[in-house]
Chains A and B, each alone.
Chain A
Amino acid sequence: EDQVTQSPEALRLQEGESSSLNCSYTVSGLRGLFWYRQDPGKGPEFLFTLYSAGEEKEKERLKATLTKKESFLHITAPKPEDSATYLCAVTIAGNNRKLIWGLGTSLAVNP
C-alpha cells in the first residue's frame, strides 16, 4: 500500500535553532514529492516540488532534499513566523493527479 510517513509529529525549537523534518515514503513509483505549509484554519500553502533523488530546492530559511526513500525539510535559523504544520505529499506513477499525504509535523518556534 502506498504510504507517506512524517516525523516527528511535533517539534518545538528555539528561535535560531536549526533542525530537519522527515518525510519517508513507500510508493509504487514516485512521480513527485510536494511540501506544503499549513497555518491553523487555512488551506495548505505550496512550498516545493521534488522529482528525482538528489534534487534540492531552497526558499528563504527552508531547504528540501530528496532521496529514493525519503525527503528532508531543513529549517535554518528558524523564526517564530515559521511556526506551522508542514505537510508532505506524493504523486505516483499511473496517477499523478491524486496527492497521497502524510499527517504532518507541527512546528513551534519560540522567541
Chain B
Amino acid sequence: DTGVSQDPRHKITKRGQNVTFRCDPISEHNRLYWYRQTLGQGPEFLTYFQNEAQLEKSRLLSDRFSAERPKGSFSTLEIQRTEQGDSAMYLCASSRQGQGAKGTEAFFGQGTRLTVV
C-alpha cells in the first residue's frame, strides 16, 4: 500500500454540472477525512468518517455536497450543481483510531484539483 490515492487528479467542469471524486485510504486506517483547500489557505474541514459512519460534517458544507463510504473502505465526494466558488483542491486523508490522540496522524492524498468554468 503506497498511501492515500485520489482520483481524478484534475477535473474541469462547467457550472451546473455534477462531479464525483474518489478516495482510497491507507488500507488499515478506519478514519477518513475530506478537506478543501484554496490558494494561500490551510485545508478546510468538510467531513469525517469512522468506518462507514459519517460522524461529522462541517456547517460550511452546503446541501449540494454529499460524501459516502459505503463499505468502510473507499469514499466518494459528490458536488451537485457546481458553482465557480467550488473551485479548489479537494483533499482526502486517512488515519488510525489510535490510543487517545497518539497514533492518529492523518496522511493525505495528492488531492483533486477542481476548476468550475
Contacts and interface: CB of A to CB of B under 8 A. Distances in A.
Contact of A97 (B4, B41, B48, B102): B48
A101 B100 contact: no
B100 A31 contact: yes
Interface of A: 4, 31-32, 34, 36, 41-46, 49, 51, 87, 89, 91, 96-99, 101-104
Contacts of B93: 43
A102 B108 CA distance: 16
Contact of B102 (A4, A36, A44, A51): A51
Measured as residues with beta carbon below 8 angstroms from the partner, the interface class of chain B is 20 to 34
Closest 4 CB pairs between A and B?
A101-B42, A43-B108, A31-B101, A32-B101
Q: Mostly helix, strand, loop or mixed at chain A's interface?
A: strand
A43 B109 contact: yes
Given A43-B108, A97-B31, A103 B113 contact: no
Given A89-B42, A91-B101, A101-B43, A45 B113 contact: no
A99 B45 contact: yes
Given A97-B56, A98-B45, A43 B100 contact: no
Given A32-B101, A41-B113, A91-B101, A99 B43 contact: yes
A99 B108 CA distance: 12
A49 to B, nearest CB: 5
23 contacts: A4-B42, A31-B100, A31-B101, A36-B108, A41-B89, A41-B111, A41-B113, A43-B108, A43-B109, A44-B91, A44-B108, A46-B105, A89-B42, A91-B104, A96-B104, A97-B50, A97-B55, A97-B56, A98-B33, A98-B45, A98-B48, A99-B33, A99-B45
